[in-house]
Structure 1
Amino acid sequence: MKVNWRGVLPAITTPFMEDGSIDYTFFAQHCQWMIEAGCVGLVPIGSLGESATLSFEEKRELLKVAVQAVGERVPVIPGIAALSTAEAVRLAQAAEEVGCSGLMVLPPYVYSTDWREMKAHVDAVIRATKLPVMLYNNPPAYKTDFLPEQIAELASEHANLEAVKESSSDVRRVTALRALLGDRLNILVGVDDCIVEGIQAGAVGWIAGLVNAFPVESVALFRMAQEVREGRGDRARLDALYAWFLPLLRLDTVTKFVQLIKLTQEMVGMGSARVRPPRLEVVGDELETARRIISHALEQRTQLPL
C-alpha cells in the first residue's frame, strides 16, 4: 500500500490489562476508531506506544493486529527502535512480513554518538526492507540530532526515504529541510503543541499524541491549519480551536507524556491510564493538575468551532 504522509497519523498507545499484559482486543478497536475519525495512517510501537517495555514477540503481535484491524484502508507504519542495529533490522523485517506499509526509523536506544555511527545504524535499517521510510528525529528524547544536512545526505542515498518526523520542537528545522530538499521529503511534525506553526512553515503531516483521546478535534485542527496556510481558511476558527487544544497538546511535551495522554484517554472513555513500569501512573498534585486541565477542556468541548 502506498503511504499517504499528508494528514494526521496517531502515534498510537499500547493498552494494558490489569495484569500488565497487552489488551489486543481494545488495541484493534482503538486502531479502527482512529481511522474512522479521518486519520490517514497508524504509527504503533513508537515512544508513545511504550516500545522500550515491549518484547519482540509483543511488538510483532501488535503489528499483526493493527494490520488486520485496518485492512487496506490506511497504512501501518511502526516505530523501529532497539538497543542494537541487528535487533532493529530484525524488527523492520518482521514489520514487512506481517504486512506493514512503511517504517518509522529511530536512532538506537541508549547509545548516542557521532554522525558516522548513527548514519550506519539507520542505513542498515533502511536497507533491510523495500518499505517506504520515515526518519524520526527527536534529539531531546534520544540524544541524537539528525541535522538538516545529514537528512539531505540520507535522502540522496535512499530512494525509499520518503519522510522525516521532526520532533526537535524547532519549526526552523522545517524551513531548513524545505530549503535544502524542496518537496523531496514529506515533513511531519512530531510535537503536538507546535503543529499549527509547523504547518505554516511547510510541514504536511502530523504524528500526533493527543489524537488518541481527541481524534475528531485533531483532524479538524490539522485541516484548518492547512486551509489557512493555503489562503482559503478561517483564521479565527483555527485560533479558537488551537487555543482550546493547546493546554492538552502541551501534555505531549513533558517527561510523563505517556502517562498523561493515557490518563486523557481514560477520562474521555477511550482507554485506560495503565502503563508499564518503570513508568507509573501519575498521582497526587500531578494527577490533580492534569485532571483539571482535561476536565476544563471537556467542559468547553461542545462549544468548539469544528
Structure 2
Amino acid sequence: MQVNWRGVYPAVSTQFKEDFSVDHAENAKMLDNLINEGVHGIIVCGTVGENCSLSADEKRAVMQQAVEVAGGRVPVLSGVAETTTAQAVQYAQDAEKIGIDGLMTLPGMVYRSTEDEAIHHYQQVARNCGLPIMIYNNPITYGVDVSIEGMKTLAAEDNIVAVKEATEDTRRITELFREFGDRYTVFGGVDDIALESLMLGATGWISGLTNVFPKESVAIFNLAAEGRFEEAREIWRWFMPLLRLDTIPTLVQCIKLAEQLAGRGSERVRAPRLPLKGEERAYVERIYNEAVANRPKL
C-alpha cells in the first residue's frame, strides 16, 4: 500500500463551548485556516485533540467534520486511542466508513502493554480494516516501545505504512532507515527535536505547536527539505521555547492556551485536565509574547 504522506501535520486540538460540548463551528474554522496556511495534512483525535476525553459518538463526529472540511485538499488521519483491541478495531472500521484517509494507531489505553501485546493490537487493527496505518511509537508516554525487531514483524502487514517516532532518541530515525529503507514513511513526533529528525531523513513532522504558528512550521519543513538548514535553523531557534511545551505532561493545556493567546481557539479542556494557572500559566504567556515580539519575517 502506497501513501504520499509528507510534510507538517498538526495534531489539532478539539474546541469546546462554555458547556464543554464539542464546538464544531470553531473546529471547522480552525481546520480550514490551517489548510489555507499551508499544512500538508491533519491529525484529529490525537493527544492534543483530547481523544480519551471524547465519547465514541463525539470522536466519530469530529472525524466526519474533518473529512468534510478538508474536502480532499490534504490527507486527514485520526488517532486511534481505545481501551481494548476490539474497540480499536471497531473504531478503525467506522473511520473507514466515514472516509478518513488513514489512522495513527496507539497501543491500548490505561493498561500498559508489553511489546508483544502492542504488536498484536496493531496487527488486529491492520487486519480488520483497509486503511493505511501509522504506528505511534511513544514509549515515554504509553509505556511500550516497539523496537526495530517489532517493526520487522509489523512490516508483514501491508497497510502498516508509517511510524510516528516519538522515543525522543533521534538515533531511532537512522535505525529505521538502515533496516527498512523506504518500507515505512517516518514522521518525527516530538516538537523540540523535529528539525533534527528532518535532517536525518524523516519525511514528515506531526506537531502540536503548528496549531499556533503554522506558517513558521511549514517554512522549517520546506527549508529542511531543500537542504537550506542554516535558514531553517534561524526559525528553529526562535521557535524552540514554545516547542519545548510539547514534551511536558500539561502539553494539551499549554498548546490550547497558546492557541487562545493567538486568537486561534479556546483554552478550554475537559477534566481531569484543568486550565493552567500560576507560574506555569505565566511562563506560557511570557514565551508566547516573546515569540510574537520577535517573530521572523518569512
Aligned counterparts of 2:282 and 2:3: Cα–Cα separation in 1: 40
- Find 1:297's aligned residue among 285, 291, 296: 291
Please name the residue that 2:165 is paired with. 166
TM norm structure 2:
0.97
111-120 or 41-50: bigger deviation: 111-120
Q: Which amino acid aligns with 1:196?
A: L
Matches within 5 A, 1:86-125: 86-125=86-125
Q: Which amino acid aligns with 1:184?
A: R
- Contact preservation (8 Å) 2:161, 2:183: yes
Matches within 5 A, 1:1-306: 3-155=3-155, 157-228=156-227, 233=228, 235-301=229-295, 304-306=296-298
- Contact preservation (8 Å) 1:105, 1:126: no
Aligned counterparts of 1:113 and 1:190: Cα–Cα separation in 2: 20
Q: Which amino acid aligns with 1:208?
A: S
Aligned counterparts of 1:3 and 1:294: Cα–Cα separation in 2: 35
TM norm structure 1:
0.95
- Contact preservation (8 Å) 1:139, 1:168: yes
Structure 1 unaligned runs (5+)? none
Aligned counterparts of 1:205 and 1:57: Cα–Cα separation in 2: 30
3-state SS in 2 of match to 1:123: helix
3-state SS in 2 of match to 1:43: strand
Q: Compute the displacement of 1:148 (Å).
A: 1.6
Q: Which amino acid aligns with 1:142?
A: Y
3-state SS in 1 of match to 2:77: coil
Q: Compute the displacement of 1:117 (Å).
A: 1.7
Aligned counterparts of 2:72 and 2:244: Cα–Cα separation in 1: 33
| Runs of 4+ more than 4 Å apart | none
- Contact preservation (8 Å) 1:3, 1:75: no
Aligned counterparts of 2:211 and 2:58: Cα–Cα separation in 1: 20
Q: Compute the displacement of 1:152 (Å).
A: 2.2
**RMSD of the TM alignment (CA)?**
1.1
Aligned counterparts of 2:275 and 2:152: Cα–Cα separation in 1: 40
Aligned counterparts of 1:44 and 1:277: Cα–Cα separation in 2: 19
3-state SS in 1 of match to 2:294: helix
Aligned counterparts of 1:113 and 1:20: Cα–Cα separation in 2: 31
3-state SS in 2 of match to 1:88: helix
Q: Compute the displacement of 1:236 (Å).
A: 3.0
Aligned counterparts of 1:66 and 1:257: Cα–Cα separation in 2: 22
- Contact preservation (8 Å) 2:10, 2:41: yes
- Contact preservation (8 Å) 2:103, 2:131: yes
Structure 2 unaligned runs (5+)? none
Q: Compute the displacement of 1:4 (Å).
A: 2.7
| Identity %, equivalent residues | 44
Q: Compute the displacement of 1:115 (Å).
A: 2.5
- Contact preservation (8 Å) 1:81, 1:109: yes
Q: How many residues align?
A: 297
Q: Which amino acid aligns with 2:264?
A: M
